[in-house]
Amino acid sequence: MWSLIVAIVIGFIAGLIARAIHPGNDKAGFIVTTLLGIAGSLLATYGGRFLGLYPENSSAGFIASVIGAIIILFIYNLISNKTR
């Protein structure tokens, strides 16, 4: 349970950093950006566990969370641009 809380807190910060790093004109607001960051952190955490990079009950590191957030933000931009 604690690793999930840590992943959410790290994801909040990682989402803000991913938004600053990711190029392009994003129309997503603050709430969407933080939710995408949290999703990226959870992607990095559970994806890393699935691939055997992290032991059970540990969260992804900060760099991995930022990379996961950038991936989620990129996918979000692809989907949102197709619907416009």
Residues of the chain whose pLDDT is less than 50?
none
- Tell me the CA distances in angstroms from 9 to 3, 6, 13, one per residue in order: 10, 5, 7
Domain range enclosing 37: 2-83
The pTM of the full predicted model, rounded to 2 decimals, is 0.74
30 burial (CB, 10 Å; 0-12 / 13-18 / 19+) is exposed
Provide the domain count of the chain. Answer: 1
Give the pLDDT confidence score for residue 13 in this predicted structure.
84
Q: Which of 68, 61, 60, 59 is nearest to 22 (CA)?
A: 68
pLDDT confidence of residue 14: 82
